[in-house]
Structure 1
Amino acid sequence: MATDHAPPPAAPPEASARLLLPQILPAIVVGVGASLLFLGISTLAEEFQHVLWNNLPDALGIGNYSSLWMIVMLTATGIAVGLVVWKFPGHAGPDPASEGLGGPPHTPGMVPGLLLASTLALAGGVSLGPENPIIASNIALTYWIGRKVAPSAPGAAWIALASAATIGALFGTPVAAALVLSEALTGQPGRGSLWDRLFAPLVAAGTGALTTQLISDPSFDIGLPPLTDPGFDDILSALVIASLAAVLGLVACYLFPYVHNVFRRLRHPMLMLPLGGLTLGLLGALGGHLTLFKGLAETEELASSIGSWSSGELMKMAVVKLFALLVASACGFRGGRIFPAVFIGAAFGLSAQALVPEIHPAVAVSAAVLGVLLATTRQGWISLFTGAVLASSSPSMLAILCLASLPAWLIVTGRPQLELDHEGHSLH
């Protein structure tokens, strides 16, 4: 019996150059502005970090990274950030435990407090990165200015420009922004093809990345030896390490709502954040100074000293950093989770490599970073991209990581995320 088949859906009409060309100038302006804000906050935090962790302890005759100094500094950071959250207009934004990478725009009045809280946390040694506050601030400012300059333009367009520009600036390349936005835009209704909708954001991302490259010298290359002749043992190692690292990342995801609830019971930022800072100081004293700060420079130090640490020491650093990320995210510090997760993955991967020296270091680190990021961010493309760039984007490594992502994704999909809803329950 004959059956009728519905015709396939028509492809969306392509946008014309007349519609795309006017988007270039706003995208360039947003790209430059987003990069400058990121670079400004990063430079300010680095200078302040040098004062707090070098100049001040030297003047006092105290060891820079003594256990006592780590406990004092992180507790003091908690007090300082607590004051900002308590007293600044907008309270430095909503509870960061319920905020992902990006999201709807906040009011511009919230931005100064958010940036100050983030700068203090970065300088004070808190195990969080700059990405979430910088993206949220750029979205808020771009949306506010864009709606005033061009009120007829869709608000979502300004959000996409700000997100893409900031991700491009953070990673020093527009590729990460393209991957993240393509994942976000897939299946969403809109005028033109996916590439039409990516046109302006890619201009913003490229401009942001180029501005960062011209002013600074960002690099995710941590100096791992290249993988030149991959074999089946490398594939097997990546599959196992990525899966185990994903399980490690899920530990934090499952514990997150419980730790968050403990701090929320204190109800006041001047209780939550100082207690969180004290806890981070104690964790730093346990794990050593490499488990402090956002983690990228510390990851480079780990990679430059392969063979200097035992498997147990590296595993201890990975676990301590995992709990530091968990506490920092739960108690109210403003910051992102990608950079600390990179350190966790690198320490875990090098621990596996120290235990089984036959595993190639690039395979161990890249696969472990991939697994931890998949568990803690659920951003498939950004996890794959970050794992690949740590290994200098070797084509053979990229192929191995694509395979390693499959079992790791099966482990994490449908599980709790390292993000809560506004009632404090895990997102799945």
Structure 2
Amino acid sequence: MSAYRELVAHDTAQQQPAAPAAPARMLLPLVLPALVVGVLASLLFLGVSEAATALQHVLWENLPDALGVGRYSVLWMLVMLTATGVAVGLVVWKVPGHAGPDPATLGLQASPMPPVVLPGLLLATALMLAGGPSLGPENPIIAVNVGLVYWLGKRFIPRMPDGIWIALAEAATIGALFGTPVAAALVISEALVGRQVRGLLWDNVFAPLVAAGAGAMTATLVAHPTLDLGLPPLSGHPGWGDLLAALVVASLAAVLGMCAVYAFPYVHSVFKRLRHPMVALPVGGLVLGLLGALGGSLTLFKGLDQIAELAKHPDGWSAGEFMKMAVVKLAALLVSASCGFRGGRIFPAVFVGGAFGLCAHALVSGVDPAIGVSAGVLGMLLAVTRHGWLSLFTAAVLVASPTIIALLCLASLPAWLLVTGRPQMRLRDDGTQIR
């Protein structure tokens, strides 16, 4: 026994001492700045979204009605997508800051940009959202909020570390985008993996969670967002057939997503050869118009409202039609992200994965629509974003069925094996892919 005690004492002495927890007096001063950042970041996101929605109604409803042209006719899609490319190209060319760096090099985590860049980036994002390209608002809105919060924070509270302003802005924007601070917590937790952080996990995420909560509550009170598609929840306990369906659909969706990931640098290089934004963006817009003519109006825009429309009628299209929409939308996402439109890839990928899951349901009636959609979204997001927790969370909240979470956790494992260690849908400055 004495030898055992000596061995335990020796092993204990060899261990590194645990990092002390941050006292409450160190965390409390962060609460007020976090609340302010959360509200401001959410209001900026909501303001841009509302402005883009109003402009979308003018461009896609009022204007074609006044001209006597079909709202979503082939002619109008070609005209509007090309015109959107021209408008965004003018911003990138002429507005100070050129709407920021090449969006193909950006992810959810953003570095502070100079204030002169932010107005042009906001304008390019609003025009893109209204005009119909297949990108969401997440990446540029996060970048704008990070730049704005960093500049204001360093100006008015210079004693606070630089990194805290970046973390607060990112968390607040993600909370507003998804309507819940849970998404921000998952992204922050992933970002902390592999970093040398002091203290407990909850000490490190405390202030960002306050900002995310404030951002989410502001968005909820002002705009009442929801990701629930309204699909019937999975009835009863899931069976072996449900598990098999989730495993297969998620894995196949990940394979489909990786096709776009591998094609990304080649498509990007084609548009890069066009050199000038007033060439690359209008050409990209024209290609998007042709894809819209092929896939229909539901394959336009960021995709969240459109996948909700598909989910209302899970048996309203054939398997071939669902698959066509999924492939066209994925191609539109690839072109939009390659030619220079400012936007993120999460929400278009949700549409692609959802349409793919509904295709599986149409092919095999035993595949429950809720399982098909959630598993398809899970696999597609894993391939496109490489954020495991965020992909799992998004797939789960789309169907609002607690019994499906266990299936999705298991389905994420083979899908993750298919994508991990492979190139990401993000490029370095020299055009090579990040792994």
User: What range is the shorter-chain TM-score in?
Assistant: over 0.9
For 1:249, the equivalent position in structure 2 comes to 257
How far is the alpha carbon of 1:149 from its aligned partner? Answer: 1.3
Q: 2:429 is matched with which residue?
A: 422
Deviations 1:345-380 (A, max 9, x none): 000000010000111110000000000000000000
**SS at 1:90's partner residue?**
coil
Contact 1:78 1:276 in 2 (8 A): yes
Aligned to 1:276: 284
1:15-414 equivalent positions in 2, closer than 5 A: 15-229=22-236, 230-392=238-400, 394-414=401-421
2:19 corresponding residue in structure 1? 12
* Counterpart contact for 2:295–2:325, Cα < 8 Å: yes
- The one-letter amino acid paired with 2:275 is R
1:79-100 CA-to-partner distances (Å, cap 9, x unmatched) read 0000000001110000000111
| CA offsets 1:365-411 (integer angstroms, 9 cap, x no match) | 0000000000000000110000000111x222111100000000000
C-alpha displacement of 1:328:
0.3
Aligned mates of 1:395, 1:353 — CA distance in 2: 20
> What is the one-letter code of the residue matched to 1:121?
M
**Aligned-pair CA distance for 1:190:** 3.0
Aligned length: 426
Structure 1 21/423 Cα, relative in aligned 2: closer, same or farther at 3 Å? same
Q: Distance in 2 between matches of 1:150 and 1:190?
A: 23
Output the amino acid matched with 1:374: L
1-side partners of 2:16 and 2:188: how far apart?
23
Aligned residue type for 1:202: L
The 2-side partners of 1:326 and 1:9 are apart by 47
Measure, in 2, the Cα distance between the counterparts of 1:8 and 1:354. 57
Equivalents in 1 of 2:122, 2:189: separation in Å?
28
Percent of aligned positions with the same letter in both sequences?
Answer: 67
Q: Distance in 2 between matches of 1:190 and 1:89?
A: 37
Query: Rg bigger for which structure?
Result: 2
Matches of 2:136 and 2:17 in 1, distance apart?
43
Structure 1 unpaired stretches of 5+ = none
Partners in 2 of 1:11 and 1:332 — Cα distance? Answer: 47
Deviation of 1:248 after TM superposition, in Å, equals 0.4
**Superposed CA offset, 1:185-244 (max 9, x none):** 134223321100111000000000000000011000111110122111111100000000
Letter in 2 for 1:260: H
- Deviation, 1:104, is 1.2
Separation (CA, whole Å) in 1 of partners of 2:307 and 2:264: 24
Q: Is the 8 A contact 1:186 1:194 kept in 2?
A: no
Distance 2:341 2:67 in 1: 27
TM-score by length of 2: 0.96
Query: Following the alignment from structure 1 to structure 2, what is the Cα–Cα distance between the partners of residues 115 and 286?
Result: 30
Cα pair 1:173 1:205 within 8 Å, conserved = yes
In structure 1, what is the Cα distance between the partners aligned to 2:248 and 2:76?
39
2:354 & 2:127 partners in 1: Cα distance? 25
Q: TM-score, normalised by structure 1?
A: 0.98
2:299/2:328 contact within 8 Å kept: yes
Distance in 1, matches of 2:210 and 2:176, equals 12
Q: What is the alpha-carbon distance in structure 1 between the residues aligned to residue 110 and residue 19 of structure 2?
A: 26
CA displacement at 1:125 relative to structure 2: 0.4
Distance 1:332 1:389 in 2: 31
Tell me, in whole angstroms, the C-alpha distance in 1 between the residues paired with 2:121 and 2:262. Answer: 27
Query: Which AA in structure 2 matches 1:88?
Result: V
Distance 1:251 1:427 in 2: 16
Contact 1:142–1:158 at 8 Å: present in 2 too?
Answer: yes
Aligned AA (2:428):
D
Runs of 4+ residues over 6 Å off in structure 1: none
Give the Cα separation in 2 of the matches to 1:10 and 1:212. 42
Are the aligned partners of 1:374 and 1:412 in contact in 2 as well (CA < 8 Å)?
Answer: yes
